[in-house]
Amino acid sequence: MKPLEEKIKDLPPDLQREVEDFVDFIAARSQDLPPGKFTFEWAGALKDLRDQYTSVELQHEISAIRSENSEKK
Identify the weakest region by mean pLDDT among 2-6, 38-42, 50-54: 38-42
**What is the C-alpha separation between 18 and 47, in angstroms, rounded?**
25
**Residues sharing a CB contact under 8 Å with residue 49, sequence separation 6 or more, in sequence order:** 58
pLDDT confidence band for 50 (50 / 70 / 90): confident
pLDDT confidence band for 42 (50 / 70 / 90): confident
